[in-house]
Amino acid sequence: QRLLDYIVPDKVHVLVDGRIVKTGDAELAKELEANGYEGIEESVA
């Protein structure tokens, strides 16, 4: 089962190369679950 089925995060952080590049809430977690990390990586590069 998916952990997000059981909890609702207050904060979600995305790290790239050890740096926080994006912060959000449960909506960011849902977006990552649906779309993956490709868009995040492209916006940072």
| pLDDT per residue as tens digits for the range 1-45 | 688 889 999 999 999 889 999 999 999 999 999 999 988 877 776
Do 22 and 40 meet the contact criterion of CB atoms below 8 Å apart? yes
Query: Can you list the alpha helix ranges (DSSP code H) found in the chain?
Result: 26-35, 38-44
pTM score, whole prediction: 0.77
The pLDDT value given to residue 26? 95
pLDDT at 25 (0 to 100): 97
- DSSP label at 9? -
Sequence-ordered list of residues with C-beta below 8 angstroms from that of 14, at least 6 positions apart, any chain:
20, 21, 22, 23, 28, 32, 37, 40
Q: Pull the structure tokens for residue 22.
A: 């994006």
3-state secondary structure of 4: helix
